Structure 1
Amino acid sequence: PNTQLWLTSPLHTGVIFASSSPQPSLYLASLWYKLNLLKERLQLKNPSATVHCVARLKDYKLVFGNHKGLASDRWHGGVATVENSPGDEVWGVVWRMNMSDLESLDSQENVTLGAYSPVELSVKTKGQELNCRTYIMNSCVYAPPSPQYLQVIVMGAEQNGLPKDYQQKLRAIRTNMYEGPLPVMEELERAMQKARERTNHHGSDIW
């Protein structure tokens, strides 16, 4: 019979199913609202990732900052993490991934560099509670996000159908007003364009 192993980590919450299949899956919840809420961003380096469901993390809040105050050259501002905050909540998305992508995911979240640590947290979805893996920033020094970074997070919330009032809260987050270029946005746009092309191709096949 299949067995279940529940794990969690700093920026992602996930459930690992150890089964007899050749490629066991990892269930991953993007609850800290990092960029992985936008599926094109997560699938750039983790192609097996698929949306599983929407979930809520109680008694935590979304914050922005940098590990040890080291500003992100990639995003030119604070990046997202969660921290304990009784009475607050964070909404996010549970993903399903192949275990073969776990190493890539940890690398993407700078776990080996000590920027984030895996943590086990309980999330709730449709009356069911799951213990999941999420990533939480170490030595976080608060800093506002760039407008571009926040835009990606808001797009992910819209794409995955998070509660409307929570989407409004995300849009109201203050940014650092950075207006310079961000190469990562071009990378993301290319990924989104490929996704649109795949969708159009499948649609033409139907007809």
Structure 2
Amino acid sequence: MHARRHPYFAYGSNLCIRQMARRCPDATDPRPAVLSDHDWLINERGVATVEPFAGNQVHGVLWQLSDHDLATLDSAEGVPVRYQRDELTVHTDDGPAPAWVYIDQRVTPGPPRPGYLPKIIDGAVHHGLPQRWIDYLRRWDPARWPRPASARSASEPGPQSLSELLSAPGVLETSRLRSRFGFLAIHGGGLEEMTDVVAERAAGPPARRCI
């Protein structure tokens, strides 16, 4: 009789094979998967989570876990205080499949914890997730976030949230957000379709627009 396996969708630091080898040594058969109609973000705790958002996709990996590994992961993820474990549908090359997804209900964006984002990116690269998704993950590095045109020294950090960006002198929000995390698209191209935000820098002629 085969031991029961639990499908688990990883989208954060559990993309890292070294971390999964420590936490869930019986985990097998990782394969790329997509969670539809959700947004991905780093929240105020500095960790990844997802929340429902029609039309968006979250890329990750579908693992198969043993009973023991699932219990260990529940403990590591702080269920039910830090994360909740919900059963959702993800899609692989083989079609739709139910999977456990760990979700933190705190969805205020924030900077990642030190060393956290590189684990996610390394795992995404290892598992062959789309380059466009990897580029999106890299935009969560605060060093890449938008900087107001007003005088900031090179050593000062960029804004840590959309509200901080839009509250900077000379920066106005001139159209509505489709995704509250679309502010990442303001800095650099390639993600424009994820947001309808345009930040207009009106401090001094000529007016500048950053998209």
**TM superposition score category, shorter chain reference:** 0.5 to 0.7
RMSD of Structure 2 on Structure 1 (CA): 1.9
- Confirm whether residue 46 of structure 1 aligns to residue 24 of structure 2: yes
Maintained 8 Å contact 1:42/1:49: yes
SS at structure 2 position matched to 1:167: helix
Contact 2:51 2:107 in 1 (8 A): no
SS at match of 2:142: coil
Aligned positions of 1:31-110 closer than 5 A: 33-66=11-44, 71=45, 78-110=46-78
Q: Structure 1: which amino acid aligns with 2:39?
A: K
Identity of aligned residues (%): 33
Distance 1:173 1:140, change over 3 A: closer
More strand by share: 1
Question: Letter of the aligned partner of 2:110 in structure 1?
Answer: A
CA 1:58–1:121: 2 relative to 1, 3 Å? same
Distance 1:116 1:89 in 2: 20
CA 1:79 to 1:176, structure 2 compared with 1: closer, same or farther past 3 Å?
Answer: farther
Of the three residues 79, 98, 106, the one matched with 1:111 is 79
Larger radius of gyration: 2
Instruction: Tell me if the contact between 1:150 and 1:175 (Cα under 8 Å) persists in the aligned partners.
Output: no
Q: Which residue of 2 aligns with 1:11?
A: none
**Residue equivalent to 1:202:** none
SS in 2 for 1:142: coil
Larger RCO, structure (CA 8 Å, separation 6 or more): 1
The DSSP-based 3-state class of the residue aligned with 1:44 is helix
Determine if the alignment matches structure 1 residue 26 to structure 2 residue 10.
Answer: no
Distance 1:168 1:139, change over 3 A: closer
Moved beyond 4 Å, runs of 4+: none
TM-score using structure 1 length = 0.64
Q: Give the SS at the match of 2:23.
A: coil
Q: 1:146: how far off?
A: 3.6
- Could you state the TM-score of these two structures normalised by the residue count of structure 2? 0.63
Distance across 2 between alignment mates of 1:99 and 1:64: 28
Whole-Å Cα distance in 2 between the matches of residues 138 and 165 of structure 1? Answer: 26
Secondary structure, counterpart of 2:14 in structure 1: helix
Distance in 2 between the 1:52 and 1:151 partners? 19
Distance in 1 (CA, whole Å) between partners of 2:125 and 2:61 is 11
Cα deviation, residue 107, structure 1: 0.2
> Is the CA contact 1:60–1:88 (under 8 Å) kept in the aligned structure 2?
yes
**Contact 2:14 2:20 (8 Å CA) reproduced:** yes
* Structure 1 residue 161: Cα displacement: 0.4
Structure 1 CA distance for aligned equivalents of residues 49 and 87 of structure 2: 14
Q: 1:173 to 1:163 in 2, by over 3 A?
A: same
Q: Partner of 2:128 in structure 1? A: 161
Aligned length: 144
Cα pair 1:146 1:175 within 8 Å, conserved: no
Q: Which amino acid aligns with 1:89?
A: Q
